[in-house]
Structure 1
């Protein structure tokens, strides 16, 4: 199992680690700051360096038994098992994923009661699909999203037991994918205060610390993807 350092600090950009195994499929390390592709959020990219070499990491994905597999560029050198390495995250790309993922939770909060049928976090644009007959207009959604961003709500996490989640099924917004069970506990991401959260739902992804850090947003388009499936695409607006 790889120790997931991003769980303790999503803002860590460098970390030391040791190679557990190395092969053409990638590297497994004893610890990592790289988020592995899951839940619609892409796997992180970056590089690792060691005494006498370095290699680009193209993507982190889930391996077997809780391992994080770091995929390398074709032809990259492989450090031997036991080698001490330094991981360097492609931070601008990860930070955009964090901002986008938090923005998608805000979007969920604006469409209460509608199940989420799919979604994808992207550095340039993201999307959520809702089981919804008629969504609000993109102008209204853009206005409300940016109002929530400007209100500077704190974003935090907490853990509940699987039994607590079973007793509160309304916390789960996704229809096609359920939170992973078997570990005994479920991570919740909360936006806003404890007593009256803007959004609260199970999530394993990385997020920013507050909504102000997301920056300005724009809803790009609304699409019909089926009789009851509406896709909402949004993007970060950089100054």
Structure 2
């Protein structure tokens, strides 16, 4: 298995790692800071760097995806050199892109808090624009949502996590907002991302992705568009202004 360092520290930008296998399908490391694509969040991009002989080598990572048996596949850019199995490498993120994705992901959780009771039927996190689809007949206006999102971001709420058992999640099905993506099971515990103080959080829901530490890091977020995607499906688009 790959030790996924982003699960304990989403702000780790690089790490030293050992190559377990390497091929055109991807490079598997014993540990990584790269988030593997899933749950609507894109995989990280960046670089693997190592020394071969007397020269420095670099493999641009075009994407990170889930591999077999709990591994992460670091997919090489076309034509990039591959490190040899057993080599020691530095895995380095495109941090600016990752941090934007973290800001976006936390923003989408805030958006969920503004539309309580409506299930999320789909979504996509992007560095420039993101969206969520709600099982909803009539959403609030984009102006109202933008104003409330700005207030929640400016309040600089802490963002943390807590863990509950799968049985506790079954007893509290309302915690699950996403209808299309179910929380990962099988480990006995489920990670919840909490925004706001523990006794009365702004938002609390299962999530395996990466987030900022405080909502003040989000910056200016705006709802730019609402789309009708069906009788009970409303799509909401967000953009980061900076």
Partner residue of 1:44? 44
Partner residue of 1:67? 71
State yes or no: 1:236 paired with 2:240: yes
Listed as ranges, the gaps of 5+ residues in structure 2 are none
Could you say what secondary structure the match of 1:51 adopts? strand
- 1:109 CA displacement: 0.1
Could you say what secondary structure the match of 2:238 adopts? strand
> Aligned partners of 1:126, 1:113: CA distance in 2, in Å?
21
1:135 counterpart (119, 139, 151) = 139
Q: TM-score, normalised by structure 2?
A: 0.97
- 1:77 CA displacement: 1.2
State yes or no: 1:167 paired with 2:168: no
Could you say what secondary structure the match of 1:196 adopts? coil
- 1:78 CA displacement: 1.2
State yes or no: 1:126 paired with 2:130: yes
Residues 60-84 of structure 1 deviation map (CA, whole Å, 9 limit, x = unaligned): 0000010000000111111111000
> Aligned partners of 2:209, 2:240: CA distance in 1, in Å?
18
Partner residue of 2:12? 12
Pairwise CA RMSD: 0.6
1:200 counterpart (204, 217, 221) = 204
Could you tell which deviates more after superposition, 50-59 or 202-211? 50-59
Residues 36-62 of structure 1 deviation map (CA, whole Å, 9 limit, x = unaligned): 000000000000110131110000000
- 1:229 CA displacement: 0.1
Could you list the structure 1 runs, at least 4 aligned residues long, displaced by more than 6 angstroms after superposition: none
> Aligned partners of 2:156, 2:82: CA distance in 1, in Å?
44
Q: TM-score, normalised by structure 1?
A: 0.99
> Aligned partners of 2:136, 2:30: CA distance in 1, in Å?
43
Partner residue of 1:56? 60
- 1:180 CA displacement: 1.2
Could you say what secondary structure the match of 1:139 adopts? helix
State yes or no: 1:210 paired with 2:214: yes
> Aligned partners of 1:74, 1:217: CA distance in 2, in Å?
34
- 1:178 CA displacement: 1.0
Partner residue of 1:191? 195
Residues 102-147 of structure 1 deviation map (CA, whole Å, 9 limit, x = unaligned): 0000000000000000000000010000000000000000000000
> Aligned partners of 1:192, 1:155: CA distance in 2, in Å?
6
> Aligned partners of 2:100, 2:58: CA distance in 1, in Å?
25
